Amino acid sequence: MSAALDAVARFNAAFEHRDVDAVMAAMTDDCVFEDTAPPDGTRNVGQDTVRAAWEKLFSAPGTFTTEEVFAAGDRVVARWRYGWDGGHVRGVDVFTVRDGLVAEKLAYVKG
């Protein structure tokens, strides 16, 4: 497994447990998370702002299932499914890894 895949695997394990502290420990201090809010997503920058975005996301009902993950150098792409009572969406995340940590997570959704 590549260093980038290892970093995203640590991030995803924390994410699946909705462990905000562990998610943030897996991200750089200057991390970026772009969510899927319409119409073009919201750009969250820095530990405090990204932490608040995770706390909001994790408070909502629903379950993410990772369908596929692959790496190209310091980039990792993950296909996922987010399901809730009565529906689901599919999407992808494009991660950038720096120094063994997730520096950027850009989320895109179908639809």
Domain that holds residue 88: 3-109
Tokens of 43: 């750009």
Category of 55 on φ-ψ map: left (φ > 0), alpha (ψ -120 to 50) or beta: alpha
pTM, to two decimals: 0.94
CATH number at residue 57: 3.10.450.50
pLDDT at 80: 97
Over the stretch 1-43, which tens digit does the pLDDT of each residue have? 699 999 999 999 999 999 999 999 999 999 999 999 998 899 9
| Total of domains in the chain | 1
Q: Where are the beta strands (DSSP E) in the chain?
A: 27-34, 43-45, 63-72, 75-84, 87-98, 101-109
Over the stretch 55-86, which tens digit does the pLDDT of each residue have? 999 999 999 999 999 999 999 999 999 999 99
Handedness of CA 14, 38, 79, 44 (dihedral sign): negative
